[in-house]
Chain A
């Protein structure tokens, strides 16, 4: 088999034959459209459906104005907060799956992955139904409130005033909650795969040497799960940064993210060149994140 693999590298013709179709696909449907949009970002509208690629940098100048820059920064902050919450919530979930009895593990993983098989739009609307002013969350909170009120009358105190539903939707809180809900599986799966590979006797060795559970977690589990943490953060942060549907549906007027601004340029504003410039700024930001991460990974490898 090893010989065959060696030959595979040496024999150019079959290699070219196999590689042509996917390369052609990539060029036709990915590189070419991206290149066109990239060119648009250096153009200006010459008519309702006509773009003059003049090489102007005006779009980028406009995109770096404070109005848009602040939305970039805010998107980044929302994505970062989402990632942090996903990490905090996802780590115990991943640990629970890792340490569960083997017969339960596939079912727990299935539970994590199940939402992937449901359309994002449907999941978002379902969450909105839950969080609306007449949704179950508010009903539940109202029930608790009335219970507390009833308890107060029971002990001879004044009852609480009537329950007013809390506005859970259409604000930044709703956006972050929605993003966490959507992105949690992306965090849990790489964490699980890192923790699953961890030799459990390392944890026992740490306990055996006198460390409690918290110290063992901080000094052994977290450092050894680091590759999974980095992978989970990247795979959560990048899509969260470009989130469009969740802020559009669940956010208020002040919670639009950069993807919503981009969408508006391509549709309502019909300013494709400006939308293209914003898009590419977002892509560059993601490139920088990925580059930083791979630089870090190389450093870790060299240090070994």
Chain B
């Protein structure tokens, strides 16, 4: 990845209001040249509005969008150095593939020979060689999307905007396209800005992700930081699956901390939290970071684990629900305090899912650096 630190898009205090509804609320962020940037959020959070403002289809109510050093306030969509792949693909139904891909070049008045060459090149890039004369209604959704992609890439934009690019594809094709989009982005070196509500999509493709909630940026971070160091409950809950317990900070020193959670007991951490003593905080714990085993007997289910290794947190409960998902099994466990906690366990051998069943008493333990303490 070519990591140039130059921002290609600068969004400065941008707000967008539709009547009384604020879709985007005072957002500022920089998108760097050459990165794969993802706007992630639930539907209606304002992420698509933000993308459409970059494309020029919506005008900000307040604030400024600068693309490649140029203020875009008075620049209409057809004059912006960005191109967009629409959620519905918006492939022109009355034109064949060649005419669709060559549309922008014809408008720009590029010579015929060059159009032919560049269209061919773009079609090869998206693996659509041989489809030149097809009409859109003779193509599958995935193929139409490739046409839309080629039609934008052929313009050699500074930034390619993608609105929910994979939402209409089936699961297998989506996984493949995630891969191909990342590969394509590296190959062409164009900045990609993608909008999605699908966290898997965001985590697998992005260099950096901005999580958007209610028109504001909840957190802006690389995928692994977002997952392992969520900044607040919204991000922790939206990205991946998580157990959240409310508690009070009872101990906070530079190298250790403790949170007293009514539902879970005392949770120890091997690092400081920098929060006021006695403050209301939340402990977030990912299901896959909890080890599960038969209590008391010290019978280790997983080779390395004893009842509770030195420095681990411990909790006990009863299995109330199980979902076998093939690669992992998901357990719903009722803690002794009555609250539910979710634990996932990889099926490392073929018979792992038989180790536990409904109403089994189990103990759980997790490392002291696994929980994340959230202040908001």
Contacts and interface: CB of A to CB of B under 8 A. Distances in A.
Interface of A: 199, 201-202, 204-212, 215, 219-220, 223-224, 304
Contacts, number: 62
Interface in B149-196: 151-152, 155
A199 B107 contact: no
Given A209-B104, A223-B94, A204 B86 contact: yes
B139 interface: no
A211 B92 contact: no
Contact of B76 (A201, A207, A219, A220): A207
B84 A205 contact: yes
Q: How large is the interface on B (under 10, 10 to 19, 20 to 34, 35 or more residues)?
A: 20 to 34
Interface in B48-80: 55-57, 76-79
A211 to B, nearest CB: 5
A224 B155 contact: no
Given A199-B88, A201-B86, A207 B94 contact: no
A169 B82 CA distance: 56
A201 B103 contact: no
Contact of A199 (B76, B82, B90): B90
Given A205-B92, A210-B78, A224-B94, 16 more contacts: A202-B90, A204-B55, A204-B77, A204-B86, A205-B86, A205-B90, A205-B148, A207-B76, A208-B78, A208-B82, A209-B83, A209-B103, A210-B107, A210-B155, A304-B135, A304-B137
Given A209-B107, A211-B107, A224-B93, A201 B83 contact: no
B78 A212 contact: yes
Secondary structure at the B interface, as helix, strand, loop or mixed, is mixed
A202 B89 CA distance: 9
B108 interface: yes
26 contacts: A199-B88, A201-B87, A201-B88, A202-B92, A204-B77, A204-B86, A205-B84, A206-B92, A206-B103, A207-B56, A208-B77, A208-B78, A208-B82, A208-B83, A208-B152, A209-B83, A209-B151, A209-B155, A210-B104, A210-B108, A210-B155, A211-B104, A211-B107, A219-B103, A220-B92, A223-B94
Contacts of A205: 84, 86, 90, 92, 148, 151
Contacts of A220: 92
A240 B87 CA distance: 44
Contacts of A199: 88, 90
A210 B81 CA distance: 9
Contacts of A208: 55, 77-78, 82-84, 152
A205 B77 CA distance: 10
Nearest to B163: A201
Interface centre among A199, A215, A224 (most CB of B within 10 A): A199
Nearest to B99: A219
Contacts of A201: 86-88, 90
